[in-house]
Amino acid sequence: MLAELQDITKHYNQALTVRQKPVLEGVSLQIGDNESIAITGPSGSGKTTLLNILGTLDRPDSGLVILNGMNVSDMKETELADLRNGFIGFVFQLHFLLPQLSLLENVLLPVLPLKDKAARKAGRERAIRLIESMGLQDLIHQRPSRLSVGECQRAAVVRALVNKPRLLLADEPTGSLDAETAARLGLLLASLKREEALSLVVVTHSPELAGQMDKIYKLGSGKLLPISKG
């Protein structure tokens, strides 16, 4: 098992409210090697919360997060930071590319903290290859303001993959794209998953994108339930 959530509970404390219903109430999920999973559900149902807990950006109230066989609650913050930079790749709904950097400089950001010079060189070569596979090679020196939203989102995918993560977490990656661009990104994600030793968890409202994943789950009323693919 590459990653696992066991019986996760999470609620947010809000001032002035007496007792808040938990956002996640006993959520379990197993993510196998090279498996792709779609998480659907209405807005406000806790999809982002679930993804943030899986990506160790947030902590559950109770339950276990196990990544690569390690219980993350036993890990120090510095170990977690290394895990986040190497084992996990994140793609958000907004691409968060830095406006003052070129496309290439943006996608190389995760390579900069690597201490090993050979690893930085390999990361750079991999970035160039991924940029080509995403069809962005002619835009490599452009700043994000010169790119379309779809091109920025593909660059964000390259940035998430540059350190060869085993687990890619994407939160509504096609949420700001038109249908055609969204479909194209979906195909790219599906083909990346076939070509790499990569597992994917994609939060999406798009039935097309969800349909390209191996398994589909729906989050609602704090529970995560599998949906059979039709």
Ligand X SMILES: Nc1ncnc2c1ncn2[C@@H]1O[C@H](COP(=O)(O)OP(=O)(O)O)[C@@H](O)[C@H]1O
Reading the block at residue 71, the tokens are 């219980």
Alpha-carbon span 136 to 33, nearest angstrom? 28
CB nearer to ligand X: give 65 or 139. 65
Amino acid at 169: L
- CA–CA dist 134, 105 (Å, integer): 16
**Which residue is nearest to Mg ion, using beta carbons?**
48
17 binds ligand X (CB under 6 A): no
For the bound state, the minimum distance from the C-beta of residue 224 to Mg ion, rounded and expressed in Å, comes to 14
In the range 44-103, which residues lie near ligand X by CB under 6 A?
A: 44-49
- 36 vs 48, which CB is nearer to Mg ion? 48
Burial of 74 (C-beta count, 10 Å sphere; 0-12/13-18/19+):
exposed
46 binds, among Mg ion, ligand X, none (CB under 5 to 8 A by kind): ligand X
Q: Is residue 23 within the footprint of ligand X (CB under 6 A)?
A: yes
How many other C-beta atoms can be found within 10 angstroms of the C-beta atom of residue 134? Answer: 21
Half-sphere exposure of 7 (CA within 13 A, CB side): 2
Least distance to ligand X from the beta carbon of 107, Å?
Answer: 26
Per CB under 5 A, residues contacting Mg ion are: 47-48
Residues 6+ apart with CB under 8 A from 100: 143
Q: How many residues bind ligand X (CB under 6 A)?
A: 11
Does 40 interact with ligand X (rule: CB under 6 A)? no
Instruction: Note the residues at the interface with ligand X (CB under 6 A).
Output: 12, 14, 23, 41, 43-49
